[in-house]
Amino acid sequence: MPVRYRYQEIPRSRIATFDVFAVGLQKHHISAMLEFDVTESRRKLRDIRKQGINVSFNAWIIKVISNVLQEHPEAASFIYNKRKLLIFNDINVSIIVEKVTGNNKVPIPLVIEKANEKSAAEITREIEMARKVELAKDDIVLNKQSAAYERYYYQLPGFIRRWFWKILLRNPKSAFKKMGNVVITSVGMMGKINGWFIHKSVHPVSFGIGSILKKPVVINDEIKIREILNMTILVDHDVIDGAPMVRFLDDLTNHIETGKEINAS
């Protein structure tokens, strides 16, 4: 009996994903696998939606992360010449927007610039608009015009494409302009996954947003059912030490679990 099989073409935009993963393996990231009680935050979000304010959970998370990183900017800084940190005043967040090309849905990066200065409602609108933007054939990043050499990116051999990423990361100002200093991946929001996923990144700090699950939690010696968000955070140990990292994560936990920035959305 003949073997039955078929070929399926890989969308070209995924080639960049392969390259980022390969280069990301060389970064000195520390992985933190955390749980956040978002019961109160989700209640506040539902309340403001009833007032007619459109704020998505993902947009609010982007806003929270941006504000906390503004208070701990070293966590989102780049190494410069292996002797200094280059710390940007703005928090530019790269996220993934699913776009349709042909019969396939492919992930395309979108950089939300100055996310720390925008409200969660403004970030929500920016993401929604990006989903409606027509995807150009050679787009690497949404809403950013590709340079002439970048339009040939997908035709290049793998070792040259990875060399491109390495050169980009050695020029923090160019890297910040092209891809921001933070990346957030929300794979877990597409389904209920009882666990964490360990992603890879070339950014100084990155966030893998998992699913929100109902779990029993002990509060004041009583067991209660709460909404728990799983999240994996990668922090570049080259740019931040253990103690500052813990302070950053502690502030992030406080902001996420108390629903800060929601009323200002």
Please count the structural domains in the chain.
1
Q: What is the CATH number of the domain that holds 165?
A: 3.30.559.10
Classify residue 3: in a domain, yes or no.
Answer: no
Evaluate if residue 23 carries a pLDDT over 50.
Answer: yes
Question: What pLDDT band is residue 15 in, cutting at 50, 70 and 90?
Answer: confident
Angle of helix 242-258 relative to helix 57-71, nearest 10 degrees, comes to 140
Classify residue 2: in a domain, yes or no.
Answer: no
Classify residue 180: in a domain, yes or no.
Answer: yes
Classify residue 94: in a domain, yes or no.
Answer: yes
Classify residue 234: in a domain, yes or no.
Answer: yes
User: Domain residues for 23?
Assistant: 13-258
- Listed ranges 100-104, 145-149, 211-215; the one with the highest mean pLDDT: 211-215
Classify residue 8: in a domain, yes or no.
Answer: no
Evaluate if residue 255 carries a pLDDT over 70.
Answer: yes
Instruction: Tell me what pLDDT residue 100 has.
Output: 67
Among residues 90, 85, 51, which one has the least CA distance to residue 238?
85
Mean pLDDT of the chain: 84
| Sequence-ordered list of residues with C-beta below 8 angstroms from that of 235, at least 6 positions apart, any chain | 29, 30, 32, 75, 204, 205, 245, 248
Classify residue 1: in a domain, yes or no.
Answer: no
Instruction: Tell me what pLDDT residue 47 has.
Output: 93
Instruction: Tell me what pLDDT residue 145 has.
Output: 55
Classify residue 263: in a domain, yes or no.
Answer: no
